[in-house]
């Protein structure tokens, strides 16, 4: 989708509404999955003695919590107040603040490290957030973010999006946002980081596996626990949604192993250093 087709404010508000309703279900269904990139993310920004770290789009605060265990002094920021409240409940003693990734209310050159775990693909203005990460980093500090690999590899997305195309309406009039899988392209990710002034950019693919109890949990994860894909599902007519659900649950059942679902959901960890 060309930038001219994007409605940044409409998309921002749509995402905000989605994340205000999804906090508990996101934590329930996606937490064990998105936690799998924390190690590689923190490794990518660890260049000596751990200092202060900003976890942007912190959600339930998983990265900030592990960063504290590793000796960093973390702050987590999210624009969804229910997410901030959940993070504070789950990880007492960590500073979680309400704030927008695209316009951080923080001073220049304040942090030794900035991370964003699966936030980039939800932003209306990702370049603005990358510029903000660069601004609040000290010289020599590092920024790392994670995104899903393309749906051909992160097969959970392929299952849901294909079923919507087959049985429902993929164009239900949601506010148009940046392409969801834009940063799944290694070259594009590295290019955008370098354009914002980062150097030594690196992209690593991490082989995540999403373990869930049942096909119904898989559908509910997207329907209740996500903003964009959930919004697409929630906007469908009841009969179309019923068919999508049936197809999704039948297809994901093929990933049953040892009494549970094991769905390949690889991710990319992209990082760069502020010179």
Residue 251 burial by Cβ neighbours in a 10 Å radius (0-12, 13-18, 19+): middle
H-type alpha helices, 202-267: 215-225, 228-234, 238-252
| 243 within 8 A of 165, measured Cβ to Cβ | no
Report the distance separating Cα 42 and Cα 23, nearest Å. Answer: 23
Near ligand SAM by CB under 6 A: residue from 80, 189, 236, 271? 80
Residue 62 found at the interface with ligand SAM (CB under 6 A): yes
Of the residues 36, 46, 58, 189, which one makes contact with ligand SAM according to CB under 6 A: 58
Query: If we measure between CA atoms, which residue out of 101, 158, 128 comes closest to residue 3?
Result: 128
Q: Does residue 19 touch ligand SAM according to CB under 6 A?
A: yes
Select from 29, 66, 78, 219 the one that contacts ligand SAM (CB under 6 A): 78
Q: Enumerate residues 6+ apart whose C-beta is below 8 A from 159.
A: 218, 248, 251, 252
Q: Which one among 42, 44, 53, 63 touches ligand SAM, defined by CB under 6 A?
A: 63
Residue among 133 and 248 whose Cβ is closer to ligand SAM? 133
Least distance (Å) between residue 242 CB and ligand SAM: 26
Complex with ligand SAM: residue 29 or 198, whichever CB lies closer: 29
List the one residue out of 117, 113, 110, 155 whose CA is nearest residue 38. 117
Looking at beta carbons only, is 58 or 236 nearer to ligand SAM? 58
Four-residue CA torsion sign, 129, 3, 44, 140: negative
Using CB under 6 A, count the residues that bind ligand SAM: 20
- Partners of 137 in the β-ladder: 111
| Residue with Cβ nearer ligand SAM (102 or 247) | 102
Site for ligand SAM in 83-122 (CB under 6 A): 83, 100-102, 117-119, 122
Number of residue whose CB is nearest ligand SAM: 59
Q: Nearest approach, Cβ of 226 to ligand SAM (angstroms)?
A: 7
C-alpha to C-alpha distance for 256 and 262, rounded to whole angstroms: 6
CB of 83 to ligand SAM, least distance (A): 4
**Residue 239, C-beta contacts closer than 8 angstroms, at least 6 positions apart:** none
For residue 26, the minimal CB distance to ligand SAM (Å) is 6
| C-beta closer to ligand SAM: residue 66 or 167 | 66
The binder of ligand SAM chosen from 15, 143, 212, 218 (CB under 6 A): 15
Q: State yes or no: residue 132 binds ligand SAM (CB under 6 A).
A: no
Burial of 96 (0-12, 13-18, 19+ CB in 10 A): buried
Q: Is 34 in the site for ligand SAM (CB under 6 A)?
A: yes
Query: Distance between alpha carbon 243 and the CA centroid of its chain, in Å?
Result: 27
Site residues (CB under 6 A) for ligand SAM?
15, 19, 34, 57-59, 62-63, 78-80, 83, 100-102, 117-119, 122-123
């Amino acid at each position: 989708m060309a930038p001219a087709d994007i409605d940044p404010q409409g998309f921002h508000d749509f995402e905000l509404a989605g994340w205000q309703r999804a906090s508990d279900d996101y934590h329930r269904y996606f937490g064990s999955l998105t936690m799998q990139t924390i190690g590689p993310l923190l490794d990518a920004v660890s260049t000596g003695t751990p200092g202060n770290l900003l976890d942007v789009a912190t959600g339930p605060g998983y990265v900030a919590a592990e960063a504290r265990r590793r000796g960093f002094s973390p702050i987590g920021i999210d624009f969804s107040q229910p997410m901030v409240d959940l993070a504070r409940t789950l990880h007492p003693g960590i500073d979680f603040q309400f704030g927008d990734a695209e316009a951080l209310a923080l001073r220049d050159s304040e942090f030794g490290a900035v991370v964003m775990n699966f936030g980039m693909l939800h932003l209306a203005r990702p370049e603005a957030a990358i510029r903000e990460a660069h601004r609040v980093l000290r010289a020599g500090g590092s920024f790392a973010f994670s995104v899903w690999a393309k749906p051909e590899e992160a097969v959970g997305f392929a299952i849901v999006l294909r079923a919507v195309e087959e049985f429902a309406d993929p164009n239900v009039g949601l506010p148009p946002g940046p392409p969801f899988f834009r940063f799944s392209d290694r070259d594009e990710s590295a290019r955008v980081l370098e354009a914002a002034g980062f150097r030594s950019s690196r992209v690593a693919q991490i082989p995540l596996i999403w373990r869930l109890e049942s096909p119904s949990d898989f559908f509910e994860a997207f329907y209740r626990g996500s903003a964009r894909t959930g919004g697409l599902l929630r906007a469908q007519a009841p009969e179309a949604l019923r068919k999508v659900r049936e197809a999704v649950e039948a297809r994901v059942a093929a990933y049953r192993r040892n009494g549970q679902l094991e769905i390949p959901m690889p991710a990319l960890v992209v990082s760069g250093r502020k010179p």
